[in-house]
Amino acid sequence: MMTANDAYITGVGQSQIGVKLTRHPLLLTLDAVKEALAEAGLTIGQIDGVSTYPGRMQGYLGFSPVGVDELIDALGIRATWYAGGGEITSQLGAVVAAAAAVRAGLARHVICFRTVYEAAAMARPDEFPPLRRDKVDGSSQWTAPFNALSAANWTAQYAMRHMKRYGLTREQLAQVAITDRAHAALNPRALTREPITMDEYMSARMISTPLCLYDCDRFTDASTVLIVSAASAIDEVSCTPIRIAAMAGTVARHSWDQAEWMASYQTGPDLWKRTDYKPSDVDTVQFYDGFSFYVITWLEALGFCDVGEGGRFIEGGKRIALDGELPLNTFGGQIGAGRLHGFGFAHESVVQLRGKGGARQIPDDPRVAVCTSGGGPLATALLLARD
């Protein structure tokens, strides 16, 4: 399976996960970098690439307070390649870019990071001012003037259509949140460690119908790091490398309201075109769940069930539980563990494939995982394998 041209995820790291943290976001990033380096047995001197999403956002620092340039300078990285930006196929697009770079010989070991500081920023608006615009332009002019102000509103409309067209129910959707929270209870770093019941879910306040409070992630402060390493440099790494077996990120119409469905429905089939693995080979799925409904779309898009069957596929929750046939979001997802913004799903895939999940470890030696990020017109999927 492995070839000289493969890319691997080697070290992974994560800072503490919290809300209203006071630790400097660059230092949270450093915490995650150190953990990843230690796991890989690498030193910062061996790092020659950096990749992030979406890069430092000057007008919206809580969303992305640390840029590549800042990290390179602060840690003394000698980079032969780096990239950071939001115009990519979503959060894990930064990992796709890094994998492409190491495969092209542009770098050997690339730090990929995503640092979020949204809860701290809300608590300290003087230091981290909220996004303010006198007037809206670009794509937001087609939603904000109608007070469709949040991705919750945009996503809810896809979920509503799924309910009307295919019969998705709130009880089925609830299984995402209930499963996430049950798994988060087993993750010492998770933001929310209390499980929820179906009754609590069904009586939660609505955010944007059909999505209630528990269908949404919430602002979090944390940093997640993944080191992507070239096959030619894998001998330098002391941890079990996890091969990036396939990658995909697709969009037909880059819009939240002009496309019939989300980009995931194109990205899923594209992933399987690039590998001999099949959905039945997958031991765990770590699906972006900024909103619970995304999990339904990824299950369908990646062919774990037919389009329209996602709700029935997770009905009752047994199938996606830790000991089920397709364990989902075993770290708690963003709904349980915190809004790590995409990178948490790749991080957890690696943890599970290495057997390092502790209390939340999937039984029976998982070897193949799919992780995803994005929503609406953004979608990235990675197939990860331990050879």
Partner 1 sequence: MSAPRPQPRLDADNRAFWTGGAVGELRLMRCRDCATFIHPPRPVCRKCFSENVAPEAVTGTGVIDTFTVNHQKWHPALQVPYVIARVAIDGAPGVFLTTNIVGCNVDEVEIGDPVRVTFEQQGEIYYPLFEKIG
Interacting residue ranges for partner 1, rule: CB under 8 A: 133-137, 139, 141-150, 152-154, 156-158, 160-161, 164, 205-211, 255-258
| Residue 260 C-beta: closest distance to partner 1, Å | 9
Q: Closest CB to partner 1 among 11 and 377? A: 377
> Minimum distance between the CB of residue 162 and partner 1, rounded to whole angstroms?
9
CB nearer to partner 1: give 58 or 209: 209
Query: Least distance from C-beta 132 to partner 1, angstroms?
Result: 11
Per the DSSP assignment, residues forming a β-bridge with 116 are 222
Report the residue number, 232 or 255, with the smaller CB distance to partner 1. Answer: 255
Distance CA 106, CA 5 (A): 12
Residue 140 or 280 with smaller CB distance to partner 1: 140
Question: What tokens does 235 get?
Answer: 């001998």
Please state, in angstroms and rounded to a whole number, the distance separating the CA atoms of residues 343 and 2: 24
Contact 28, 223 (CB under 8 A): yes
User: Which lies closer to partner 1 via its Cβ, residue 161 or residue 278?
Assistant: 161
In this structure, the number of other CB atoms found within 10 A of the CB of residue 95 comes to: 27
- For residue 145, the minimal CB distance to partner 1 (Å) is 5
244 CB-contact burial (10 Å; exposed 0-12 / middle 13-18 / buried 19+): buried
Residue 7 Cβ, how far from partner 1 at the closest point, in Å?
A: 34
Whole-number minimum distance, CB 164 to partner 1, in Å?
A: 5
Q: How far apart are CA 79 and CA 161, in angstroms?
A: 46
At 38, is the secondary structure helix, strand, or coil?
helix
Contact 160, 210 (CB under 8 A): yes
Alpha-carbon separation of residue 69 from 13, 50, 287, 336 (angstroms): 20, 9, 30, 31
Residue 254 C-beta: closest distance to partner 1, Å = 10
Single-letter amino acid, residue 324: G
Closest CB to partner 1 among 28 and 262? 262
Nearer to partner 1, 60 or 142 (CB): 142
CB 44 within 8 A of CB 237: no
